[in-house]
Amino acid sequence: MLEMECTCEQKKHTAPIKVTEISENAVEKVAEILKDYKRIYVICDKNTYEVAGRRVEELLKEAGSYSHTCIIDEPALPNLSNVGKALIEAGTDRAVFDINEFSYNPDFVLAVGSGSVNDISRMVSYRIGVEYGVVATAPSMDGYISVVAPLINGNRKIIYTCTSARYIIIDLNICANAPYELLLAGVGDMIGKYVAILDWELSKKVTGEYYCEKVANMVLEATGKCIESATVLSERKIETIKNTIDGLLLSGLGIAYTGSSRPASGTEHMVGQTWEVMDVEKGKTPQLHGIEVGEATFMAMLMYKKLYEDDRCDSWLRELIEKYIPAFDKVLELQKIIKIPFTVTDKEKFVEGIMRGRTFRVRYTLLQYLFDKGMLEEYADSIYDETMKYCFGTTD
């Protein structure tokens, strides 16, 4: 259990994490770290099985703590059919010949992967009532310690309440060799934190929502560190990868500490996730979460900067935005170097993501502020041109 004393109304923040192992050959320690469990159920996809799953299996078998493995079908999307598969395969057929017995469940769920595999495993662990841990194969998102699983249900994406990982095992060598797009996605998920925390401060002022300065500062500091080292992301240095991972973990810790994704998700997540949902609705495979969030972050930062210059902006909000402008500018500069792909170029989709994003979840953000002032539609329309100009006009 991690703990942090605080001066906010929660007084003490806790997270149910037992072990965090971040090192160059962390996978080799998996059996030792999970020595308290006897029937470990491994969930992975085809790629993560090759990258780490097979080795994890070997080590758990040697230690006598292995149960079995589920390999999620391709494409390994976090949808209900994949959760269903992993749930069905969680049990063994030991009870088949005895009608008085139930299927024999594992005593631990181990996700080997990131993103989808982690979301699926978290749901399975929550439903069968055993703890779970993750062997991360890419620094692509901050959901390792998250308390929810966003899952595709039909043509919708629904955020299900879950539990968070008790064990986090991150092998730096494996992460450093992850596909470059996954590294970019991790940075994309991190740069959004500036917008998320500014939104949180905005909501505190307008709605009186609970706000914790210590958690907010912890996430902002981690974001700063991640951005500084991200300029050399393509070199895949262990130190850079570690800074990205630290950032993602601290941001996840902020979620666990407050019991809400508020410190890690605001306008940029609501718009990015709406774009994801719009793809799902059309039966398309959505972009990586961190890539969508990265795209929406540029939009949201440009939107805040536009509002800063606007006479209709309340003076208290202008003061608030001013604090964040240096950080926004750093992120906008960073994009010139690392170039997170910009995929939402269709104006209709872009604008609809903003308009629908406002109510993606119940959360007061910049979008609601603009909506209440009758300015959202105008801003959604004009920020498209500015974002495109920024991403395709001035960066090249």
Chain contacts with Zn ion (rule: CB under 5 A): 6, 8, 189, 212, 214
* Residue 189 or 295 with smaller CB distance to Zn ion: 189
* Residue 85 or 157 with smaller CB distance to Zn ion: 157
Which residues are CB-contacts of 91 (< 8 A; sequence separation ≥ 6)? 102, 103, 104, 105
* Residue 53 or 186 with smaller CB distance to Zn ion: 186
Question: Which token pair is 330?
Answer: 């750093």
User: Long-range contacts: 155-161, Cβ < 8 Å, 24+?
Assistant: 155/280, 155/281, 155/283, 156/277, 156/280, 156/281, 157/273, 157/276, 157/277, 157/280, 159/361, 160/123
* Residue 106 or 186 with smaller CB distance to Zn ion: 186
Tokens 């470059």 — which residue?
Answer: 180
Q: Are strands 66-72 and 12-15 parallel, antiparallel or unpaired?
A: unpaired
In the bound complex, what is the minimum distance in angstroms from residue 306's beta carbon to Zn ion? 24
| 83 CB-contact burial (10 Å; exposed 0-12 / middle 13-18 / buried 19+) | buried
For residue 15, give the nearest of 257, 358, 228 by alpha carbon: 257
Rounded to the nearest 10 degrees, what angle do helices 267-281 and 193-207 cross at?
Answer: 110
CB 172 within 8 A of CB 26: yes
Question: Which token pair is 33?
Answer: 């770290």
In the bound complex, what is the minimum distance in angstroms from residue 59's beta carbon to Zn ion? 30
Tokens 């500036």 — which residue?
Answer: 194
In the bound complex, what is the minimum distance in angstroms from residue 102's beta carbon to Zn ion? 37
Task: Report the distance separating Cα 332 and Cα 386, nearest Å.
Answer: 13
In the bound complex, what is the minimum distance in angstroms from residue 101's beta carbon to Zn ion? 41
* Residue 30 or 354 with smaller CB distance to Zn ion: 354
* Residue 6 or 63 with smaller CB distance to Zn ion: 6
In the bound complex, what is the minimum distance in angstroms from residue 334's beta carbon to Zn ion? 17
In the bound complex, what is the minimum distance in angstroms from residue 43's beta carbon to Zn ion? 20
In the bound complex, what is the minimum distance in angstroms from residue 4's beta carbon to Zn ion? 7
* Residue 128 or 165 with smaller CB distance to Zn ion: 165
